[in-house]
Chains A and B, each alone.
Chain A
């Protein structure tokens, strides 16, 4: 009887303990769910691109390189997004074959996208209001030309993952900062931070420093220059 009494008391204590800790865990789990799943949606607003553009089709099927459209100007500065005239150079008319009964859904989508582009932008002579995933803050000066030449001076001949490909098709170099072809082709909306106004994929200084402050870049080239200077004025003019 005594034994049973002890057993009953033990179960009650265990139950009381579990029940007593439950509010703590409920609060913790709710916070975790809020912090990981709900908060990001609240912080970032999603804005879709004006229409779907497949980088993969242009690179893999047409054979374009990044710098064919995102070119350097005569003075060495980077042009960024191509103007309508660049796109219209090829897409003055619809190039994609009109879909028929045998066409796949992808082919239909591609035709619809190009038709929309030609009719609404080329014929209307209207620049495309692309949204930029990686637009940097105004207080940062990022020179594409310097990165293109300086990074390649070493990484062209490196092996493995440190090889950035060829200068004529520098995808690996570009993808160090920009979204990959696969990610771009998901036609993801650009997410803007409600507090800062920057996009979710705008680079943080720590990411710049993954190269600029990398010990491997401190070696002097014999002319007093390091491979990636990490002085403040390098980026903040």
Chain B
């Protein structure tokens, strides 16, 4: 046999036929298709040892205690910490914290605004030199805004300001501030706490306890433990009722939900007090007689006219409160701010009538934590400074400081539109922002100093508002900072040293140790391991405490604006805070009925929609105080009549592509007025006009 040309072709034909009967072509085809997916730029999982670290979130306003799972040295996931008094779940914001470490909105290095108005990178030594120089130059004409009400950083800022001769240190407005003002006026020398753990009936008026009021994650844990699961293994331990204008997370879990007009918490609480007093309940307050006289005027019928609440529904809730062994009434803002002190006072009065002050399941009067640094103001003292009023003064020009230092706060986005914060900023020659993210306020500053996020720094949490017991937590850093950042506290300590100011501690760690071991009397190492130090100490109910009927009456007399509809802002934690913007990964949690493209939806019920001559999906304009907001309309029956519900958290002009120009900022529409008799600036009642765009 000779292999000629014909034979060779036959051999090739045979080989071709034979190879098709082997796995070779098919396996190669499959493997090549897989190989084409393995490009070097496709990120690969980085594997490593798994371990878990306990921390308390400094990003989530609920101070959620969580566990962070790390792979190697990288935080990858946030998990619930069921054994911590502030834990037991994860909020949508705390869950996003590990992703936000890599957010494109993070400030990567110190920035200084150049002569052309653009930011330029500078070194930390240059930043320290500029900062110390500006502090020295401004001296007592320095002002400070702190966005962290529970951390000891507020104390560091306060000590520095005191050393410079300034009293201008303000915390961002919060529920805690309103409660502190209420306590001060009621002559209660402590922090108002809520013992949800031991209550068997909770009636929340306005306070959205599962999304924006107090210790949200703890509140949810307590509700979960007290409520039957469909598996039938848990028996009902506590009931929960809610009154508010929007069917929010609290309303959907409440039995019943009482729809009311927004900003009507004081009147509604007085309606509850009316029924209780009519039933013979009393309180041992100094001015109970005057309070009784006021409350008896707020009959269920009158309260129904003012608040829109169903009188029968209200009476059934009060009957349930009376039948409960440990009833608790929580009154607060529907969106976590701006409600003032009067609703807290009215709520305190109702609890006093229920006889639950300093009783299990009732109101707890907790001692204020005192300042550790010599010369620093305590938290209760800092709450007394009203930022909104100060900003108004600065805008008027007369008392504008020479230097403003903003720490982890975004007042240009978070304050109501009626407060001329932008004008105030223009009147201040030099502004410094300590921020992890390049937000609206940081963009308006001259010097931006990047700070580590909560997971990257040593920090602490002192009894957050809403907690039923005093608690002190220290959060150790779990990750190396991914950017060129410095902790604000350490930077301030260095600046104070540069200026020869005595701070009373060598470093922030030194301060936290002093608080842990000297004040809280707890082992610092144990706190670093994530164990919160709990104290059940309560202050006695003062004999001469007041229910402030005169303050309540003045507030009830305050007429709301003459407009067609009422505005009901509400909070969803997945949209982040004013500081963070919308966490990148949380954009996928936004439904098409909340945000479509760049249009956000506002909600009205069908009757209100018809009354306004509008229809589902219409492009609308909301107008209040001469300020306008574009939106689209969604018809939703979970909104009170004559009310427009608008979600907070949209309309950022700074930060990153995940937050910028998505919807509009409802804060722009809110008017701010001084609360009668307390002087605290409030913005919980706003009228709004709705028209087709």
- How far apart are the CA atoms of A31 and B1 in the complex, in Å? 20
Cβ–Cβ contact A26 & B24, under 8 A:
no
Cβ–Cβ contact B31 & A27, under 8 A:
no
Interface of A is mostly: helix
Contact of A74 among B7, B45, B52 (CB under 8 A): B52
- How far apart are the CA atoms of A105 and B564 in the complex, in Å? 94
Cβ–Cβ contact A23 & B18, under 8 A:
no
Known contacts A22-B1, A26-B11, A75-B52; A31 and B22 CB within 8 A of each other:
yes
Cβ–Cβ contact A195 & B15, under 8 A:
no
- How far apart are the CA atoms of A31 and B31 in the complex, in Å? 20
Contact of A27 among B6, B12, B22, B37 (CB under 8 A): B12
Smallest distance from the beta carbon of A15 to chain B beta carbons, Å?
Answer: 10
Q: Does B16 have its Cβ within 8 Å of any Cβ on chain A?
A: yes
Cβ–Cβ contact A20 & B10, under 8 A:
yes
Chain A residue contacts of B3, Cβ below 8 A = 23
B residues 9-38 near A (Cβ < 8 Å) are: 10-19, 21-24, 27-28, 31-32, 34-35, 37-38
Chain B residue contacts of A29, Cβ below 8 A = 14, 18
Smallest distance from the beta carbon of A46 to chain B beta carbons, Å?
Answer: 17
Cβ–Cβ contact A31 & B14, under 8 A:
yes
- Tally A residues with Cβ within 8 Å of B: 33
A sample of 12 cross-chain residue pairs with beta-carbon separation below 8 angstroms, ordered by A number, consists of A23-B3, A26-B14, A31-B14, A31-B22, A36-B22, A36-B23, A39-B23, A40-B23, A75-B52, A75-B77, A195-B34, A196-B38
A residues 180-200 near B (Cβ < 8 Å) are: 193, 195-198
Q: Does B109 have its Cβ within 8 Å of any Cβ on chain A?
A: no
Q: Does A50 have its Cβ within 8 Å of any Cβ on chain B?
A: no
**Interface readout for A30-64 with B: 1 if CB under 8 Å, 0 if not?**
11101110011001000000000000000000000
Q: Does A90 have its Cβ within 8 Å of any Cβ on chain B?
A: no
Size bracket, chain B contacts: 35 or more
Cβ–Cβ contact B15 & A39, under 8 A:
no
Smallest distance from the beta carbon of B321 to chain A beta carbons, Å?
Answer: 35
Chain B residue contacts of A79, Cβ below 8 A = 50
17 further A-B pairs in the complex, CB-CB below 8 A; given A23-B3, A26-B11:
A20-B6, A24-B11, A24-B14, A25-B14, A27-B10, A27-B17, A27-B18, A28-B14, A28-B15, A28-B17, A31-B22, A35-B19, A75-B69, A77-B69, A193-B31, A196-B31, A196-B34
Q: Does B349 have its Cβ within 8 Å of any Cβ on chain A?
A: no
Contact of B14 among A23, A73, A139, A198 (CB under 8 A): A23
Q: Does A97 have its Cβ within 8 Å of any Cβ on chain B?
A: no
Cβ–Cβ contact A35 & B18, under 8 A:
yes
Known contacts A21-B10, A32-B22; A27 and B34 CB within 8 A of each other:
no
- How far apart are the CA atoms of A176 and B49 in the complex, in Å? 27
Chain A residue contacts of B69, Cβ below 8 A = 75, 77
Chain A residue contacts of B67, Cβ below 8 A = 75
B residues at A contact (CB < 8 Å): 1, 3, 6-8, 10-19, 21-24, 27-28, 31-32, 34-35, 37-38, 44-45, 49-50, 52, 67, 69, 77, 79
Q: Does A19 have its Cβ within 8 Å of any Cβ on chain B?
A: yes
**Interface readout for A107-146 with B: 1 if CB under 8 Å, 0 if not?**
0000000000000000000000000000000110000000
Smallest distance from the beta carbon of A56 to chain B beta carbons, Å?
Answer: 28
- Scoring B6, B8, B14, B38 by chain A CB atoms within 10 A of each residue's CB, the highest score goes to B14
Smallest distance from the beta carbon of B455 to chain A beta carbons, Å?
Answer: 17
Chain B residue contacts of A75, Cβ below 8 A = 52, 67, 69, 77, 79
Known contacts A21-B10, A27-B11, A75-B52; A197 and B38 CB within 8 A of each other:
yes
Contact of B10 among A24, A34, A35, A195 (CB under 8 A): A24
- How far apart are the CA atoms of A34 and B15 in the complex, in Å? 10
Smallest distance from the beta carbon of A70 to chain B beta carbons, Å?
Answer: 14
Pick the 10 closest A-B CB pairs, nearest first: A35-B22, A27-B14, A31-B18, A28-B18, A24-B14, A27-B15, A27-B11, A28-B14, A23-B10, A23-B11
Chain B residue contacts of A196, Cβ below 8 A = 31, 34-35, 38
Cβ–Cβ contact A39 & B50, under 8 A:
no
Residue ID in chain B nearest A223 by CB atoms: B230
Residue ID in chain A nearest B8 by CB atoms: A23
Contact of A31 among B6, B16, B35 (CB under 8 A): B16
- How far apart are the CA atoms of A30 and B12 in the complex, in Å? 10
Residue ID in chain A nearest B26 by CB atoms: A35
Cβ–Cβ contact A43 & B31, under 8 A:
yes
Residue ID in chain B nearest A37 by CB atoms: B22
Residue ID in chain A nearest B44 by CB atoms: A138
Chain B residue contacts of A27, Cβ below 8 A = 10-18
Cβ–Cβ contact A31 & B19, under 8 A:
yes
- How far apart are the CA atoms of A23 and B34 in the complex, in Å? 35
Cβ–Cβ contact A35 & B35, under 8 A:
no
Residue ID in chain A nearest B49 by CB atoms: A83
- How far apart are the CA atoms of A23 and B12 in the complex, in Å? 8
Cβ–Cβ contact A23 & B7, under 8 A:
yes
Residue ID in chain B nearest A22 by CB atoms: B1
Smallest distance from the beta carbon of A145 to chain B beta carbons, Å?
Answer: 13
Known contacts A19-B1, A23-B8, A74-B52; A30 and B38 CB within 8 A of each other:
no
Chain A residue contacts of B19, Cβ below 8 A = 31-32, 34-35
Residue ID in chain A nearest B3 by CB atoms: A23
Residue ID in chain A nearest B12 by CB atoms: A27
Cβ–Cβ contact A195 & B35, under 8 A:
yes
Chain A residue contacts of B27, Cβ below 8 A = 39, 43
Cβ–Cβ contact B22 & A34, under 8 A:
yes
Known contacts A31-B16, A32-B18; A73 and B50 CB within 8 A of each other:
yes
Cβ–Cβ contact A35 & B13, under 8 A:
no
